[in-house]
Amino acid sequence: MTVLAALALSSTACNHPPVSRNCVDAHGHVVPESECQSHATGVHYVYGGSSGGHIGDTVVGGSDTEEGVSRGGLGHGEGDAEGAAHGSGDGAGE
């Protein structure tokens, strides 16, 4: 039964939930999605991170690109330091 449970766990570990995305202002406060959709000045998306999910909340952590969000799963090197070191080099120093 243990092998069967491990197999079931490993097969579901690769199904990643969608990355959260918040539209934020220059101070990292959540603003209405419509501001990012209209390309308002000073707003951008933050992928991942934590917030209360309400307008005005501050997003802590996260990345300006979806690719910068770690989504590693059990038995997969997607979120480890080695995988993160193999980026395209774009945005170095930002």
Comparing 11-20, 28-37, 76-85, which segment has the lowest mean pLDDT?
76-85
3-state secondary structure at position 50: strand
Mean per-residue pLDDT, 20-46: 95
Q: Which residue has tokens 């590693």?
A: 72
CA-nearest of 26, 17, 68, 30 to 47 is 68
As a whole number, the mean pLDDT across the chain is 72
Q: Confirm if 17 and 72 have CB atoms less than 8 A apart.
A: no
Q: How many CB atoms lie within 10 A of CB 16?
A: 12
**Which pLDDT band holds residue 77 (cuts at 50, 70, 90)?**
very low
Residue 23 has pLDDT above 80, yes or no: yes
**pLDDT tier at 90, thresholds 50, 70, 90:** very low
**pLDDT above 70 covers what percent of the chain?**
55
pTM: predicted TM-score of the whole model, two decimal places: 0.56
| CA distances for 16 relative to 25, 47, 52, 72, 73, angstroms | 27, 14, 21, 8, 8
pLDDT at residue number 5: 52
